[in-house]
Amino acid sequence: MIKLKKSVVYKFLKGTGRYFIPAMIFTLFYTLFKFLIPQIVGIAVDNVIGDLPVEGKLASIFISLGGGRDNLRDNLIICALAIAVAAILEAISSYLSRINISRGTEKYAMSLRNALLQHIEKLPFSWHTENSTGDIIQRSTADVMTVRNFISSQLIEVIKTLILLTTALCIMFSMNVKLALVFTATVPVIVIYSLLFHSRISRQFRHADEAEGELLTQVQENLNGVRVVRAFGREKHELEKFNKTSDVYVKNWVDLGYTLGFFWGIGDLATCLQLMSVICSGAYFAAKGQLSLGTLLIFISYTQALLGPVRSLGKSLSELSKAGVSAERIAEILSAPAEEDDIGASDEFTDGDICFENVSFSYGDNEVLHDVSFTIPAGSTLGVLGTTGSGKSTLTYLLNRLYEPSAGRITINGKDIKSFTKSALRRNVGLVLQDPFLFSKTISENIAITRPDSSIDEIRARADVASVDADIMGFSSGYDTMVGERGVTLSGGQKQRIAIARTLMMDCPIMVFDDSLSAVDMETDARIRESLRSNTANSTVMLISHRINTLMQADKIIVLDEGRIVEEGSHKALMEKGGLYSRVCTIQSMAYAQEEVEEHE
């Protein structure tokens, strides 16, 4: 897992070198000018205002460029201007460093986000059913931002701090070893206590992160199911459930806040002791004549300049704990095996008879289909009737390879569907689900989503086949009407018919309608079926429905019960058998007759 976390950080840094390398160069310049200012102050105090002998190349060069001691004493503004120039150059270097860091980290974050979405889209359907959407969103947004912030702020800050600290220590030890040792005495203390807190902060942040994922999941469920919540008067119950999850989330973050507060309190104490030690020791050495006033000022300036960076080392370790957890959660997604085509799979699809040969499928220990075998001749229509949970929809998922059978195989034109690439198979098997998903786009964009270059005439032709053209033209904006999130601005029947039109745009040789007419009335159902028969005459159709009227014109009908085929044949043959199909037909006929009587009354 450590390797996976590293891969999240390093793998996506490729291509950002053109930003981070200049950032490091400008950081070096920033460090140079930052430490040059105290040196100029020290030279001015000891060698210009004072009479101490000139020692060191920097002092000699500065006094020489300034026209000598006497000229500098008469024109102290030269020292002030030198300090101002160094400060300006320091600011420019810092600005250019931060600009390049920002560009690099945004490119990194974009690469990571894109890779995450691309990988998530390739993950098996079973993976999505096992992982909550809220948690996936949380990992793809908040966790990515945590890693991004660590790289943009902490990782670069660590490098900057190391450069500052190394440069400062070299200068300090060259100037006065004793006072330099006083300064470095507290650095190990800061590092040690930071390491002690590292594992605890990491553990608490993971709990807080997971709690946030659960909170997002509940929010998403409530927003998506707001009509159901209100219809059943469940607002109070859902609010209580949300409050409990929110309390856990708040508690985790408060506990983390206490830990971080204690952590920073110790850090403040350590840095204050560090500055106090340098000032007191420096004053003592200066009083003993072992240290010049200018050197003391340089040490105090360097100590103050390093208080923040040294303290940030501790912060960086705490942020490393958070970033490590986030990187691990991201790595769990990126390491999940993506869908792969079988060896030798072809992108060339060949149409023909569809055969289910002794197919079985289980959700864990729950067997949904058992030894199912049937054939759909090319160009024919198969009707599928079954009770709830009998495995009707599972047939469509298996044919589309969203699931893989636990036993048996499925062939098209005599070839195992595994011999086709999944993209080729799904391009040629059009699927319309009972609860279709519509995007937050215009109606025309939803219908033409697989063929965005389609003309409005082509779009309207498919919509007419699906008996939804008249409904759409009744809207004020027609086909330019925006569909609300998940299609909330449309009725259930309109969504189903738009989904049918969208699938028809694919011109697939195989079409599967999974109870996709359940939300339309009987008259519209009949009109759509008649239109489909004339427009999909050359397609192989699997028609799943709980309505006998929808299935009765099919060339062949199979009846599923508890995952097994209990009856098969034409409508007429099944009615003559007097089995499950016949009983369902009788019950539905009586119900429809009763509805007609009530309407006339």
pLDDT in tens, 545-560: 888 888 888 889 999 9
Domain boundary among 93, 122, 151: 122
Same domain flag for 260 and 142: yes
Same domain flag for 513 and 392: yes
Domain boundary among 87, 122, 157: 122
- How many other CB atoms are found less than 10 A from the CB of residue 248? 16
Residue 221 falls inside a structural domain? yes
Residue 347 falls inside a structural domain? no
Same domain flag for 359 and 468: yes
pTM for the full model? 0.65
Alpha helix (H) residue ranges in 44-155: 57-65, 69-74, 77-122, 125-130, 133-138, 144-149
Tell me the CA distances in angstroms from 108 to 9, 113, 135, 211, 334, one per residue in order: 9, 9, 22, 27, 16
Same domain flag for 413 and 497: yes
Beta bridge partners of 356: 374, 410
pLDDT digit string (tens) for 234-284? Answer: 778 778 888 888 888 888 888 888 877 777 777 777 777 777 888 888 888
Same domain flag for 114 and 143: no
**CATH number of the structural domain spanning residue 400:** 3.40.50.300
C-alpha angle with apex 263: 260 to 269, nearest 5 degrees? Answer: 140
Same domain flag for 106 and 250: no
Residue 534 falls inside a structural domain? yes
Same domain flag for 187 and 234: yes
Domain boundary among 336, 365, 388: 336
What angle separates helix 293-334 from helix 77-122, to the nearest 10 degrees?
A: 10
Kindly tell me if the per-residue pLDDT of 67 is higher than 90.
Answer: no
Kindly tell me if the per-residue pLDDT of 358 is higher than 90.
Answer: yes
Q: pLDDT grade, residue 599 (50/70/90)? A: low
For residue 69, give its domain range: 9-122
Same domain flag for 29 and 167: no
The answer to whether residues 566 and 559 touch, using CB atoms and an 8 Å cutoff, is yes
Residue 2 falls inside a structural domain? no
Residue 36 falls inside a structural domain? yes
Residue 288 falls inside a structural domain? yes
Same domain flag for 16 and 163: no
Residue 127 falls inside a structural domain? no
Closest C-alpha to 506, from 459, 467, 464:
459
Strands of the sheet with 510-514, listed across from one edge: 429-432, 510-514, 540-544, 381-386, 556-561, 564-569
- DSSP per-residue codes, 90-116: HHHHHHHHHHHHHHHHHHHHHHHHHHH
Same domain flag for 172 and 91: no
pLDDT digit string (tens) for 407-457? Answer: 999 999 999 999 999 989 988 998 888 778 888 888 999 899 888 888 999
Same domain flag for 360 and 417: yes
Give the mean pLDDT of the chain: 81
What's the rounded mean pLDDT across residues 577-583? 87
The whole-number pLDDT of residue 353 equals 92
Query: How many domains does the chain divide into?
Result: 3
Residue 502 falls inside a structural domain? yes
- How many other CB atoms are found less than 10 A from the CB of residue 301? 18
The values of phi and psi at residue 61, to 5°, are -65, -45
Same domain flag for 588 and 441: yes
**CATH number of the structural domain spanning residue 270:** 1.20.1560.10
Q: In this prediction, what percent of the chain has a pLDDT beyond 70?
A: 89
- How many other CB atoms are found less than 10 A from the CB of residue 435? 15
